[in-house]
């Protein structure tokens, strides 16, 4: 049995240790991390699952970003990182966090979500490839995926993903 909760400041080190366990060294060098530098995560969407021994088994975080095309700016959520401890993989914990957080994001008034990942995996959650939405190099454009919390939220959205300067209320 797992307990779902919002990540707190006290959870930070344990969540970071989970990410270090699950991802290759140098993960902070990825383009998506440049979008997070100096920006607060979305507190109400950054969640953890703890097991019966109170150990974090999975975690998910979200960050606000903007997509800039010409002079127009549109906000979106950047999902990630998401991780499940290697000893807990295959139990559906990551999927549980994705579904729960997407439902919460919609209730909080967000319209669109993006992530960098494998379309073959994330399509089961409703994500699809975004055409014309660009993340800084060396991100592979075929790995930039989007999810609509509101119908047609990604329609006609094209441009560069950039750091967001103020938190969503």
89 is a domain residue: yes
Quick: pLDDT tens for 62-119. Answer: 999 999 988 789 999 999 999 999 999 999 999 999 999 999 999 999 999 999 999 9
Q: Dihedral sign for Cα 152, 77, 81, 99, please.
A: negative
Tell me the CA distances in angstroms from 100 to 28, 52, 93, 125, 159, one per residue in order: 26, 20, 11, 11, 28
Output the DSSP codes for 5-26. EE--GGGHHHHHHHHHHHS-TT
Assess if residue 159 is contained within a domain: yes
Extract the tokens encoding 148.
Answer: 């609509």
CATH code: domain of residue 101 = 3.40.630.30
Domain hosting 112: range is 3-163
* Residue 69: inside a domain: yes
Among 15-24, 95-104, 140-149, which stretch is predicted with the lowest mean pLDDT? 15-24
Tokens found for residue 132: 């014309």
Give domain status of residue 169, yes or no: no
pLDDT tens digits along 22-75: 887 665 655 565 677 888 999 999 999 999 999 999 999 999 999 998 878 999
Number of domain units in the chain:
1
Instruction: Kindly report the pTM of this predicted structure.
Output: 0.90
168 in a structural domain: no
Is 139 a domain residue?
A: yes
Tokens of 28: 């902070």
Residue 158 in any domain: the answer is yes
Token output for 8: 């707190």
């Amino acid at each position: 049995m797992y307990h779902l909760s919002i990540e707190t400041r006290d959870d930070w080190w344990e969540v970071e240790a989970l990410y270090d366990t699950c991802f290759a060294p140098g993960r902070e060098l990825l383009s998506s991390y440049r979008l997070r530098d100096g920006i607060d995560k979305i507190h109400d969407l950054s969640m953890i699952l703890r097991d019966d021994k109170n150990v974090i088994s999975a975690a998910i975080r979200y960050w606000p970003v903007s997509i800039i095309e010409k002079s127009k700016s549109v906000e979106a959520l950047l999902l990630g990182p998401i991780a499940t401890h290697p000893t807990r993989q295959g139990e559906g914990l990551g999927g549980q966090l994705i579904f729960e957080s997407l439902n919460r994001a919609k209730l909080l008034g967000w319209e669109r979500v993006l992530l960098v990942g494998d379309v073959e995996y994330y399509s089961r959650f409703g994500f699809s490839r975004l055409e014309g939405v660009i993340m800084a190099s060396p991100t592979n454009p075929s790995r930039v995926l989007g999810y609509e919390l509101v119908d047609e939220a990604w329609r006609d959205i094209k441009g560069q993903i950039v750091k967001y300067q103020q938190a969503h209320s």
